[in-house]
Structure 1
Amino acid sequence: MTQQYDARYDDAARARLVVEPPKRVDAPIREPFERDRARVVHAAASRRLAAKTQVVGPQTDDFVRNRLTHSLEVAQVARDLARALGCHPDITETAALAHDLGHPPFGHNGERALAEHAVECGGFEGNAQTLRLLTRLESKTFDADGRSVGLNLTRATLDACTKYPWTRDRAEAPQGVHGDGSPRLVVKFGVYDDDRPVFDWMRQGVTGTEQCLEAQVMDLADDVAYSVHDVEDGIVAGKIDLTALDRPALWERVREWYLPQSSDDELDDVLAGLRTQGSWPTTPYDGSRRAMAALKNLTSDLIGRFCGAVQEATFAAGDGPFVRYDARLAVPQRTRLEIGVLKGIAAHYVMSTDDRVELMARQRELLAELVEAMLAQGPDSLDQPFADDWRAAADDAARQRVVIDQVASLGDASAVARHRSLT
């Protein structure tokens, strides 16, 4: 099965920055993209995702999703859609597993705090940090000069992991909000200036800022997963009742955060369409096994609804092959509206509460103080790999980047504990 997909990806797509010798003859036979997936699964950065906020902190409840469980769900959606379209499922799944590796403690809220303290060293952005992890910080392979090249993934896989394939100076002004409800105040870009060499190698032969198809699939799978699962989490937490939505206030939130041009009539029509889904609830959630099963069927049906619509539209838009730069993913406007309405439901009933806004302010203050403490105390406050980077840094900007790398690597609880010990 994998050879069927591999035939559509040439030697350049399978190339690695550092050429690797053949594996032992007695080792399991795996294709290059299968090896990429295994490397991300076994990466330390993947394990750390379990301790990082998705929407609410991972210590708040046994049920809520964290960055790791979210990434696993995105990977499943991405793999199934990739298989249906005919692009490589291993590449797309790996991109989904890796898409949040660069996120710091406290999700997008933490990203905002680090961006404000990284201005002088080139900024901070979770997706640019993901590329840095995959190609430098997550050690597995070193080049002939003794420099880490990270996991040494193939060109096609690295490209699929790059959600924003452009530099900071080409980024558009941020607008709207993130999936966790925090405002978009950080410009979105995919590479720091000192990581340009590997980025340029990865994008060899590509002009402009177009995403490869596999990255588009990963991006959509991320959007679908958190739009559906945030609603599921809110229902189980008792904050959302899909049978009793306050539409006037809800539509104001939807326009404020996601769909500014949509009228009440249009949003009413979209919600009416979603309610035609056979598994849409007609009674409030009561926590029983039957209610849990019904809710799981709803989430499954909505994911299938969105992905099926995209698959049909993509096939209708072109003949393929649907790989890399030979095709574009087609997302119907109706599907975008339906996803936006679900996001708005979670935003209105879960993410806009006063206690959550106050908590996010405290989290940003904690990370700011942690960065300042590490800059003041130097390598003794850093883990060994980052202490080594500090000693090798040529100037203050480089040392600041090291501290940002260190703080971004921490989980929520580790950031709190490190802050307590250093301040």
Structure 2
Amino acid sequence: MHGTYRTYDPTDTERWEPEPDKRPGRTAFQRDRARVLHSAALRRLAGKTQVVAPGGDEHAWDATPRTRLTHSLECAQVGRELGAALGCDPDLVEVACLAHDLGHPPFGHNGEQTLAEIAEPCGGFEGNAQSLRLLARLEPKRFSADGLPVGLNLTRATLDAATKYPWPRGGHPDDPGSPKFGVYADDVPVFTWYRAGAPPGRRCFEAQVMDWSDDVAYSVHDVEDGLHAGHLDPGVLLADPERREVFAVARERYAPPGTEDAELAEALDRLLDQEWWPHGYDGTATAQARLKDATSQLIGRFCLAAEHATRAAHGSGPLTRYGADLIVPRGPRLECAVLKAVADRYVMQRPDQEKLRAEQRVILAELAEVLIPRAPVGLDPQFRALHARAADDAARVRVVVDQIACLTDPSARALHARLTRLPAHPAHRTRRAE
């Protein structure tokens, strides 16, 4: 048993549906970690693009870009070490990191936005709320005494640690119009159970560690993938016009409100001034080794900054649940925001990407247009059963959205190709026909 495990209250390890442990000697959080690692939902992330889509130079030995799965594994490694350094149970933080992207649909955030429109009749769609739905309802593992699915039946603390946005739609504590939320209306009962006694709208400490680990992993690794794929020349970050474009993206999407270009320039220059920064990257073995070193340096830089600042504020004891807040200094936070903006500007905003995103939106929209009126035809057996039990039209739409969200990028394309060859349902026309 981990030394920090005793800092958790027995209620933290309760499960929605009580069950005995088949292997005494394991901690409850080790069981949770094993359940997520063995889940089909985690395996499906291997087929979901992170930022750089596969399909480049197939002969390059290190040309394979990250997927949602490899990102989640890297996030988990970062989170486990940072959490352990701060006194969290490392298995708890790791499982939260492994689970944080489970609900992301095919085609990443582009797919998320499309499904949000499709799911408007049933309360919208959000990848983080979908992650909770998978963990607590959809992933087949446990059922309640009355035969209802309870997903992986994880502990209270694990579900809380995996919740990045602890509020329902429209419930953001500072911005009710925010599209970010962590629970759908029909999943509120389990949300209310595991959030019992938690300050409204406040993330637990482990969820804060997970969130920063996610930011660190994807900001650093997305830039690394962009360099490997040839989409980013680090030399452009020395040119004023290019820098201004990066800063504009950072201010709009990633930096704290009110951030000025001068602060972002200082943050970028601090990184460029490091002796390990991969200036002149040319893809050679030496350059790749330097890039890997830069990746390690950046992760260490961001994690140590948070660790030292948090310890300075809260002392040296174990920090868990609602006993502390993770403190990330403004400087490292802005450096991370600049890296995100670099990946956004030079990878996600490539000219060929908008055409690809438009195609992806059509695929998901047409899948919904075919499946919603035909369901349960076209649904997998699990979702056919859920559709049969749905109480109303909104609940039936939610089941179709659940099915689409579980698809990988290739399986979404394959299902779309198969279903759109069927005769049109009398009640609808596809976008293609329009």
TM-score (norm 1): 0.93
User: Among residues 200, 206, 210, which one is paired with 1:218 in the alignment?
Assistant: 210
Unaligned runs of 5+ in 1: 176-184
User: Among residues 173, 187, 190, which one is paired with 2:179 in the alignment?
Assistant: 187
Unaligned runs of 5+ in 2: 58-62, 421-434
Separation (CA, whole Å) in 1 of partners of 2:159 and 2:122: 24
Q: Is contact 1:321–1:327 with CA below 8 Å preserved after alignment?
A: no
Matched, 1:397 2:375: no
Q: Which residue of 1 aligns with 2:95?
A: 94
Q: Is contact 2:172–2:201 with CA below 8 Å preserved after alignment?
A: no
The amino acid that maps onto 1:167 is: P
Q: Is contact 2:173–2:201 with CA below 8 Å preserved after alignment?
A: no
Matched, 1:366 2:363: yes
Could you list the per-position Cα deviations for residues 265-319 of structure 1 after superposition, in whole angstroms to 9, with x for gaps in the alignment?
333322221123231134x212221111110000000000010000010011123
Q: Is contact 2:49–2:108 with CA below 8 Å preserved after alignment?
A: yes
Q: Which residue of 1 aligns with 2:220?
A: 228
SS in 2 for 1:380: coil
Map 1:114-263 → 2, pairs under 5 A: 114-171=115-172, 187-245=179-237, 246=239, 247-259=243-255, 261-263=258-260
Query: CA separation of 1:166/1:9 partners in 2, compared to 1, >3 Å: closer, same or farther?
Result: same
User: Among residues 285, 288, 293, which one is paired with 1:297 in the alignment?
Assistant: 293
Matched, 1:34 2:30: yes
Q: Which residue of 2 aligns with 1:288?
A: 284
Query: CA separation of 1:64/1:153 partners in 2, compared to 1, >3 Å: closer, same or farther?
Result: same
- By how many angstroms is 1:173 displaced? 9.2
Separation (CA, whole Å) in 1 of partners of 2:133 and 2:367: 21
Could you list the per-position Cα deviations for residues 196-228 of structure 1 after superposition, in whole angstroms to 9, with x for gaps in the alignment?
111111111113110000000000000011110
User: Among residues 396, 404, 407, which one is paired with 2:404 in the alignment?
Assistant: 407
Query: CA separation of 1:263/1:198 partners in 2, compared to 1, >3 Å: closer, same or farther?
Result: closer
Separation (CA, whole Å) in 1 of partners of 2:308 and 2:320: 16
Separation (CA, whole Å) in 2 of partners of 1:257 and 1:395: 38
SS in 2 for 1:346: helix
Query: CA separation of 1:316/1:330 partners in 2, compared to 1, >3 Å: closer, same or farther?
Result: same
The amino acid that maps onto 2:362 is: E
Q: Which residue of 2 aligns with 1:178?
A: none
Separation (CA, whole Å) in 2 of partners of 1:265 and 1:384: 56
Separation (CA, whole Å) in 2 of partners of 1:75 and 1:411: 21
Identity of aligned residues (%): 56
TM-score (norm 2): 0.90
Could you list the per-position Cα deviations for residues 209-267 of structure 1 after superposition, in whole angstroms to 9, with x for gaps in the alignment?
10000000000000011110111011111222223323233333333433363444333
Separation (CA, whole Å) in 2 of partners of 1:207 and 1:327: 12
Q: Which residue of 2 aligns with 1:181?
A: none
The amino acid that maps onto 2:387 is: W
- By how many angstroms is 1:95 displaced? 0.4
Matched, 1:5 2:1: no
Q: Is contact 2:172–2:178 with CA below 8 Å preserved after alignment?
A: no
Q: Is contact 1:112–1:186 with CA below 8 Å preserved after alignment?
A: no
Separation (CA, whole Å) in 1 of partners of 2:101 and 2:391: 29
Once the two structures are overlaid, the 10-residue window that deviates more, 264-273 or 350-359, is 264-273
Separation (CA, whole Å) in 1 of partners of 2:197 and 2:125: 27
Q: Is contact 1:174–1:187 with CA below 8 Å preserved after alignment?
A: no
Could you list the per-position Cα deviations for residues 97-153 of structure 1 after superposition, in whole angstroms to 9, with x for gaps in the alignment?
000000000011101111101111111111111111001100111111111111111
Q: CA RMSD in A?
A: 1.9
